[in-house]
Amino acid sequence: MNKKQSISTLTALAVATTMAFGANSTGLKDNMPFKLGVAVSNAQINDIANGRKTQALDLIKRNFNQVVAENAMKDQPLQPIEGHFAFDAADAFVDWSNKNGMKTMGHVLLWHSQLPGWFTRGDNGKLCSREKLLDRMENHIKTVVTHFKGRVAGWDVVNEAVEGDGSYRRSDFYKILGEEFIDYAFKFAHEADPDCELWYNDYGNESAKKNETIASIVRRLKSKGMRIDGVGLQTHIRIDSPSIESYENAINLFVAEGVKVAITEMDISVLPSAWGLTAEVSTKVEYREKLNPWPDGNLPPEVDKQLGERYAEWFRMFRRHAASIDRVTVWGLSDSSSWLNDFPVPGRTDYPLLVTRDMKLKPWTKSL
Ligand code: XIL
């Protein structure tokens, strides 16, 4: 066979392979040096559970090779009433992602938010005892981790335990157990499934002080001989801040502690920051209009271009650190399903993700 013939044989083989896996099986994921992930919404999980075939699910399968449930595996949905676990939706999701060969991550075992009220409180509404909380943590974590054993690759064990100034968040967990609540959570998870990856996850990693405290948690767990695989950086960022360098510093810091990192919840808001204004915006119309400049679902091309360039810059940085980055996950599939349309101001129209409202990959995703 001459060179020309062997190339055409290869081409034929590639075409045949593509056809065998579906004509559209190559997507964004195939151009990445790490896993490319997406958070799957409750509505999408509902479609999965009901066996519906949708454009969204097709887009996910084609473009991503890692998934996480945006809400369905948090404490509130999994154990709404003490002792009553509800696994149906999460099971449908995890079975679907396993069947489709996507790395499946669990989010989240212990978080102060979307936590059912009973978890940290006694009958009198006051904080429960140390023993009671440890008991509930052990029961929730072990039941959930055991249930998904072998079907999820890893868990966010603890989410958002550190504040921007580097202090520990005064959550109920912290008030009752102090910072060691984190150690207990990792211990229970590891006892339930020794093979499971265990992650600490947080936002706001532009803060060097916050990162120092997270690094100290990694050191503390390791010095006790405990398992921690990595630190997740949520990466809910904006079109104009923070700096890429601040996140690159965070990655270097955690990697120096001997763990992996992951970009776990990336989105880039293009809307004006509403922090500090949230009380007023609910009442003042002029603030609302200023804070929601493109309400009709059309982002001006120059802003879209800027967004694409910002995404590309961040992905270039991620690529430089590919050896340490387990996955880059975006927090939702399309702009229409992003939580940022409702947070921190309800009823806005944001454009933070890789897929448009009419379910097309944004053209600049080719450059990521
Ligand atoms: C968000 C979801 O996207 C929303 O749908 C839900 O109403 C609130 O939680 N940090 C996290 C995620 O770790 O679990 C949050 O997800 C976003 C911030």
- Say how far apart CA 259 and CA 265 lie, in whole Å: 19
Give the C-alpha separation, 99 to 96, whole Å: 5
- Residue 25 Cβ inside 6 Å of ligand 1? The answer reads no
Q: Give the model's pLDDT for residue 163.
A: 98
Question: Above 60 in pLDDT, residue 19?
Answer: no
List 232's β-bridge partners, or say none. 201, 262
DSSP secondary structure string for all residues of 192-247: H-TTSEEEEEES-TT-HHHHHHHHHHHHHHHHTT----EEEE--EEESS-S-HHHH
How high is the pLDDT of residue 46?
98
CB 293 within 8 A of CB 271: yes
Catalytic residue flag (residue 265): yes
pLDDT higher than threshold 50 for residue 171? yes
Q: Name the CA radius of gyration of the chain, rounded.
A: 22
**Segment among 26-40, 196-210, 275-289 with least mean pLDDT:** 275-289
- pLDDT score for 286: 66
Q: End-to-end CA distance of the chain, in Å?
A: 37
Mutate to test the pocket of ligand 1, among 71, 107, 202, 333 (most ligand atoms within 8 A of CB): 71
**Active-site residue (options: 70, 197, 206, 265):** 265
pLDDT band at 210 (very low <50, low <70, confident <90, very high): very high
Inform me whether the pLDDT recorded for 137 exceeds 50.
yes
Mean pLDDT of 264-279: 86
Reported confidence tier of residue 274, pLDDT bands at 50, 70, 90? confident
Instruction: Give mean pLDDT, residues 294-323.
Output: 98
Give pLDDT tens digits for 52-67: 999 999 999 999 999 9
Longest dimension (CA), the chain: 83
> Is 289 marked active-site?
no
pLDDT given for residue 287 in this prediction: 67
pLDDT at residue 38 in the model: 99
Contact 85 CB / ligand 1 (< 6 Å): no
Q: Is the peptide bond before 108 cis (omega within 30 degrees of 0)?
A: yes
Q: Is the pTM of this model over 0.95?
A: no
Query: Residue 4, SS3?
Result: helix
Question: Cα separation of 192 and 336, whole Å?
Answer: 37
Catalytic, out of 70, 160, 197, 206: 160
Name the residue at shortest CA distance from atom 13 of ligand 1.
159
Residue 285 pLDDT: 66
At 38, give phi and psi (nearest 5°). Answer: -145, 145
- For ligand 1, whether the C-beta of 70 sits within 6 Å is yes
In contact, 304 and 310? CB cutoff 8 Å:
no
State residue 289's pLDDT score: 82
334-359 per-residue burial string, b: 16 or more CB within 10 A, e: under 16: bbbbbbbbeeebeebbbbbbbbbeee
Query: Please, what is the average pLDDT of the chain?
Result: 93
User: Which of 11-20, 253-262, 307-316 is least confident?
Assistant: 11-20
Lowest mean pLDDT among 69-83, 124-138, 268-282: 268-282
Q: How confident is the model at residue 14 (pLDDT cuts 50, 70, 90)?
A: very low
**What digits encode the pLDDT tens for the residues 239-250?**
999 999 999 999
